[in-house]
Amino acid sequence: MRIEEDVKLDFGDVLIRPKRSTLESRKDAVLIRTFNFKHSSHRWAGVPIIASNMDHTGTYEMNKSLHDYAMLTAICKFTTYAPLPNAIKTIGLDTNLDDIEYNPEWICLDVANGYTEKFMSFVEKMRHHEATKESIIIAGNVCTPEATEQIILAGADIVKIGIGPGSVCITRKLTGVGYPQLSATMECADAAHGLGGHIITDGGCTVVGDIAKSYGAGADFVMLGGMLAGHAECEGERVGNHRGSKMKFYGMSSEDAQITYYGEKQTHRAAEGKTVYVDYKGAVKNTVEEILGGLRSACTYAGAKTLKDLPKCTTFVRVNRQLNEVFS
């Protein structure tokens, strides 16, 4: 047993310090990024935001709406995959790679615990398999730089970062395992970029400012679940009247998810997700435009002409309180 004494930080522990900017208007901030990848020959340009591969948010309706803004959607692995633009195919460790069709441009190996030898071996198998060897491979989740490096060297182009920070994830409560998401992003981004790889910050963003902090900390992509929940493009039960209706939203390791997809709660595992009801928000368009507006403003405050420049322009300041919540 040992204790690391270094302070590890979450999004709520910091603010971005404003700096002199040459941008004349928020609209001049460029949010589109162009990516080349370490292993895949594919090239991608867009706003690097991804709808989470949960059954609530990882839908084709969400893909259709986010595609209009050059964003990505990770399609839930329990949904039949179709090769649409900016749609990411999600798989698990039980997938037979011989059954994969279409040679997907994007593919995500999504597991709760990316620290197992089986996971690392599967990433390597994906990189050399005929169906996926040219794909942009995303793999995760982990939260430490050593694992990030190992996954990239095994064949992944992008590593998904986050153990337990999600809004409907209770892994930290049940297991005591995790890592504050801002520090995880900073450390894993440094490890990935040193090898020519990329990372996704997955979980922990509760307001648009957290997305800006993720990019400032070095994230290449940000995956959103809770912030995109409750929209018309989401799947799930809707209850209540039109004005006050809510939508059911649960973690993919929750008891609800296990019963839905496996018929029962599996006796060998805890339910590491919870079920909540979120306010119905209508079309996701309004939320997306608020996110984009906030990111443009963040770039302007930090003096970054482009989203790609934001890490170079970001200085974080430690705070005891970041929001005035008197009317919250």
Phi, psi of 13, rounded to the nearest 5 degrees: -90, -5
Among 186, 204, 203, 191, residue whose Cα is nearest residue 156: 191
Instruction: Report whether 46 contacts 71 (CB < 8 A).
Output: yes
Question: How open is the CA angle 74-34-128, to the nearest 5 degrees?
Answer: 60
**Is 169 among the residues known to form the active site?**
yes
Please return the burial class of 304, using the count of CB atoms within 10 Å of its CB with bins 0-12, 13-18 and 19+: buried
Long-range contacts of the stretch 194-197 (C-beta < 8 A, 24+):
194/149, 195/38, 195/149, 195/152, 195/153, 196/38, 196/152, 197/38, 197/148, 197/152, 197/156, 197/157, 197/158, 197/159
Residue 48, SS3 per DSSP = coil
How do the residues of the chain divide into helix, strand and coil, expressed in percent and rounded to 5? 30, 20, 45
Question: Given 76, 143, 169, 299, which residue is catalytic?
Answer: 169
For the chain, helix (H) and strand (E) counts, in that order, are: 9, 15
Residue 223, SS3 per DSSP = strand
Among 235, 244, 242, 274, residue whose Cα is nearest residue 257: 274
> Residue 303 is encoded by which pair of tokens?
């003096």
As annotated, the active-site residues are 169
